[in-house]
Structure 1
């Protein structure tokens, strides 16, 4: 146990399966890669329902959605808590690929 809270990332199951085969997860958010965005968007348990509704509220894809629980102590790259605007709500951002070994749980999103 690291003492650090897990951070969460919602994604399509096929993207997670591709990452497992490759060894790293590199999708920042729906439709954007780590290379395009510069970091991987994550959230806390409390933030996840709003993030899921914003990103996937209209999702009608062939793939089920899954939530990746990431142990920040295992990512090996900076994790910064940042807001989109000064004084706004802060979200965890992972500044590099997430090793699949840092993903400690995968669960379906209802």
Structure 2
């Protein structure tokens, strides 16, 4: 895919822990699925609505996919849309922006 950036929604506490460690290993859902779920800009609103409705304790990470190399795999999900998935940890150095987010 030609996308340079993708987005991750996660708990503020999870982000603080990742910053302290220098790496994000994934949320409970990510760990259960074996990869870290990301969304493109066009997919982010639906992801927020579907998985985080009503949440106010979130962070939106902007992730530089080029910094992650081959750990990013584009795979079909909802209705065949391709979503970026990270197979491995997300180093905080690949996050270009982290902003508070509420659904």
Tell me the TM-score normalised to structure 2 length.
Answer: 0.85
What per-residue deviation string (whole Å, max 9, x for no partner) do you get for residues 6-40 of structure 1?
A: 11000111100001111111124xx4243x22110
Tell me, yes or no, if structure 1 residue 54 matches structure 2 residue 50.
yes
Find the residue that maps to 1:96 and give its secondary structure: coil
Aligned residue runs from structure 1 range 27-106, under 5 A: 27-28=26-27, 31-34=28-31, 36-59=32-55, 64-84=57-77, 88-106=80-98
Structure-2 change in CA distance of 1:90 and 1:53 (3 Å):
same
What per-residue deviation string (whole Å, max 9, x for no partner) do you get for residues 28-87 of structure 1?
A: 4xx4243x221100001110010011111143xxx62110011112225521111137x7
8 Å Cα contact 2:73-2:84 kept in structure 1: yes
Q: Runs of at least 4 residues of structure 1 off by over 6 A?
A: none
**Higher Rg of the two aligned structures:** 1
Tell me the matched-pair count. 101
Q: How far apart in 2 are the matches of 1:96 and 1:9?
A: 14
Structure-2 change in CA distance of 1:33 and 1:81 (3 Å):
closer
Q: CA RMSD in A?
A: 2.1
Find the residue that maps to 2:51 and give its secondary structure: helix
Identify unmatched segments of 5+ residues in structure 2. Answer: none
| Structure 2 residue aligned with 1:9 | 8
Identify unmatched segments of 5+ residues in structure 1. Answer: none
Tell me the TM-score normalised to structure 1 length.
Answer: 0.80
